[in-house]
Amino acid sequence: MTSAGRRRGLVRPYVITDGRAHPTRNTLDLVTLVIAARGETGGLSPEKRRVMELCRGGALSLAEVAGHLRIPVSVTKVLLSDLVDSGHIVTRSPIPSAELPEPAILQEVLDGLRARL
């Protein structure tokens, strides 16, 4: 068993969220990007401090935060919405699909790559 597996399960999710399962906002999803807005982490729980440390380096998606913290995504949502409420982080929705490149261009790139390799 890896050390991650052994560490998992020591602090249970209900302690992390203080028994809450409903995030204070329902605008968060797996690809929501999270960015640290404040530097200080005083008075935060260890998980929230970790989130702040992770986000200080730049934007991270919610799914990545959950992966780094090794806690379920739904629990991460509760944590992150708390942090948004306290002003420690800001969220940014991912680039909307309209701004994504055209499928045709992607197909061309794919074809070109295939031709080269």
Helix (H/G/I), strand (E/B), else coil: 69:
helix
Give yes or no for residue 42 binding other proteins (CB under 8 A). Answer: no
How near is the Cβ of 45 to other proteins at its closest, in Å?
A: 8
Structure tokens at 97: 């699909």
Please identify which residue in 27, 56, 58, 67 interacts with other proteins, judged by CB under 8 A: 67
How near is the Cβ of 10 to other proteins at its closest, in Å?
A: 4
- C-alpha to C-alpha distance for 49 and 35, rounded to whole angstroms: 13
Residue bearing tokens 């800001």? 90
| Number of neighbours of residue 84 by Cβ within 10 angstroms | 20
Which residue ranges make up the site for other proteins (CB under 8 A)? 1-4, 6-15, 17-19, 21-23, 46, 50, 64, 67-68, 72-75, 117
